[in-house]
Structure formats: structure tokens, C-alpha cells
Amino acid sequence: MKLCSLKDIEVATLIEREGPQRKTRELFPSADRERAVEHFREMEPFLYLPASDRIYNTYQSFLLRIPGKTILIDTCVGEDKARPPQFMTYPKKPWLDAFAAEGLSFEDIDLVICTHLHVDHVGWNTRLVDGHWQPTFPKAKYIFGRIECEYWEAQVNKGNDLAGRIWTDSCLPILRSGQAELVEMDADLGDGLRLRPAPGHTPGMFCVSVTRDDEDKVMFVADVLHHPLQCREPDWSTGFCTDPVLAAKTRRELFEEIADTDTLVVPEHVPFPTVGRIESDGDRFRYSFPFPWWRPAGARD
Ligand SMILES: [Zn+2]
């Protein structure tokens, strides 16, 4: 499903799971509930469900098409993986259907970029074939952050169970097949693609920007922004951040850098139509959806 286009860049989403999910303080432990509710009142209705205090979050991959390359950014939870119950309950067919609806086969993906190695960003890296984990995209080069890999390897060595499962079934097979390229957090990937360091949510997370003519820009901001609420309250990091203070600093710096510009922001977990622009508002910010007309009336609420 199309999200946006800019010159010769096209961005589509492959949605694995969407809908209301966690309560405000489950996702943002430092949130002031009443202040949050005031912010939610000013936001689009597909972002928050007041009756049960549930925040809408989407799990999606982004399909980035530029001339000569088909690129996948982040790969959701995937299938057949031994994961905690909240991730096991998602049906996996919607993601596969969305992929097929783009007219693609797994061989068509040239590049897979994992912004970080959390459970919901690496799942479709591999599939279980005849009892073995195989790279899902046989011809793709996979981009992993070097610092991110080192951090998670250290976690595995410390006995972190979930990290061990993710590393073993979704990262190691890629490293062993020779398809992984470990890069620095500010790597230039060519074709106008550049990484931007975004530490805090995890130590090695990065954003991916695509620039045309030095100024027009689409920026995939990974989990810097889980929800537009964090534009109003940039200091509210999620309970899943390894360093919530650094995550907030990264968020504020990024917002200050791109606020009131034409940069199209593509955050991982913001519900469809996902793409937005950051607007400044004193020392806070606002998230605006520039393409609301692509959202069918009444859909997905
Ligand atoms: Zn995530």
C-alpha cells in the first residue's frame, strides 16, 4: 500500500499488525496520564482509543523503490519464531499478502536494512525451510549496524533469552550466508541513501534518509518516534528503550533538525497513513499528516 512518493522515490508499507495495543503508561512509563489525554484530544482519532486507554501502534515494513533498487526497511516479527505470547498471536499472512500485492517475489529484494535488532524489526529476515533458518531474500544484501550487532552479541553472551532467540534465528543465518554487511551508524549507502545515528532506543539504532537534489528528503526514523504523542512530549521515551534519557535527547535533536522543513518522516509504529512532517510549537512539536486523503474513510479504526 502506497505511503508517499518524492521525485523518483516511492515508499509503500507492508503491514503485519495494526490496531490499539498498550495503555499509555505501559508504552510510556514516565507519562502523565491526564496530560497525555489532553494531547490525545487534539489528535486524529486513529491514534488513540479513549474508552480503554489504548494507544494505536502498527508493525510494518517499508518498501522503498528507487531506480534500479528495491529495498526493504525493517522486517517486523516474522513467522515460526519462538517469541513471547504478545508477538505469537499476530497472524503473519497479512504481511505476506501485502508483499505479494506489491507484485514482488523474495528474489526481487536487493537490499534489506535493519534500523536496529529488536524483535519487531528483524523477523522476516529469515524463514524456516526444512527445519533450518534461511535468508528470506536470497539475492539481498542485509545492512546491520556494527555497534548494534556488538551490543546484542554481548547480551546473548550474558544469557538474555529473547536476545539469544532473535540473534540465532534472525541474524546469525544472515551473517553465515555472507549476505550481511556491518556498517557504521552514519554510513553512506550510495544512491542518496545515508544513515543517521539515533542511539537510545537501542545503542546502535539509526535512521535512514533518502535525499534528492540536496534538499528533498524522506527520513525513516525507526523507533525514535513510537507515536505522535512524543512530539508533544519529547521526553517521554518508551519502556523498551535501553537508555530512555539518551533516546529523548536523540528525539529532540532530530525534531529540531527537521521541524518546519519539507522532510517526510516515516516512523515505524505510527498508524496508517504513517508519513508525517514535524512542526515546531515552542519547545514542543506537532506531528502532521500531509497525505490524509489516502486513508479510506472509516477504515482501520
Ligand atoms: Zn519497534
Distance 268 CA to ligand 1 centre (A): 7
Distance 213 CA to ligand 1 centre (A): 30
Q: DSSP secondary structure string, 48-106?
A: EEGGGTEEE--EEEEEEEETTEEEEE--BS-SS----HHHHTS-SHHHHHHHHHTT--G
Distance 59 CA to ligand 1 centre (A): 7
Q: Is the separation of the CB atoms in 255 and 284 below 8 Å? A: no
Q: What is the pLDDT of residue 275?
A: 96
Q: Is the separation of the CB atoms in 73 and 115 below 8 Å? A: yes
The candidate with the shortest Cα–Cα distance to 228, out of 288, 291, 296, is 288
Distance 138 CA to ligand 1 centre (A): 24
Separation CA 190–CA 181 (nearest Å)? 14
Distance 209 CA to ligand 1 centre (A): 18
Q: What's phi and psi for 75, nearest 5 deg?
A: -130, 30
DSSP 8-state class, residue 169: I
Q: What is the pLDDT of residue 301?
A: 41
For residue 265, the cross-strand partners are: 219, 276
HSE at residue 233, side-chain half, CA atoms within 13 A, is 20
Q: Is the separation of the CB atoms in 266 and 52 below 8 Å? A: no
- Classify residue 233 as exposed, middle or buried by CB count within 10 Å of its CB (0-12, 13-18, 19+): buried
Distance 35 CA to ligand 1 centre (A): 24
Q: Is the separation of the CB atoms in 90 and 185 below 8 Å? A: no
Distance 128 CA to ligand 1 centre (A): 22
Weakly modelled stretches of the chain, pLDDT under 70: 88, 292-301
Distance 118 CA to ligand 1 centre (A): 6
Please provide the distance, in angstroms rounded to a whole number, between the alpha carbons at the two ends of the chain: 17
Separation CA 297–CA 301 (nearest Å)? 10
- Kindly give, in sequence order, each residue whose CB lies less than 8 Å from that of residue 86, ignoring residues fewer than 6 positions away: none
Distance 201 CA to ligand 1 centre (A): 9
- Kindly give, in sequence order, each residue whose CB lies less than 8 Å from that of residue 14, ignoring residues fewer than 6 positions away: 60, 61, 62, 63, 76, 95, 98, 99, 102
Q: What is the pLDDT of residue 290?
A: 86
Distance 122 CA to ligand 1 centre (A): 10
Residue type (1 letter), 152: W
Q: Is the separation of the CB atoms in 107 and 145 below 8 Å? A: no
pLDDT in tens, 31-43: 999 999 999 999 9
Q: What is the pLDDT of residue 300?
A: 47
Q: What is the pLDDT of residue 292?
A: 61
Distance 121 CA to ligand 1 centre (A): 6
Which H or E run includes 23?
strand 20-23
**262 backbone φψ class: left, alpha, beta (φ>0; ψ -120 to 50):** alpha
